[in-house]
Amino acid sequence: MNGVCVRFRGWLDLERLDGVGCLEYDERRAAHEDAILRDQIDRYNQRLRDFEDKQRAYRGDRQDEMDQVRRGVPGGIGVGVGGGMWRR
User: What is the Cα 41 distance to its own chain's centre?
Assistant: 8
Strands (DSSP E) contained in 1-88 are 6-13, 18-25
Which tens digit of pLDDT belongs to each residue from 41-58?
999 999 999 999 999 888
* pLDDT given at position 14: 93
Which tens digit of pLDDT belongs to each residue from 4-43?
788 899 999 999 999 999 999 999 999 998 899 999 999 9
Are 31 and 16 spatial neighbours (Cβ–Cβ below 8 Å)? no
Distance CA 77, CA 82 (A): 11
Distance CA 67, CA 75 (A): 11
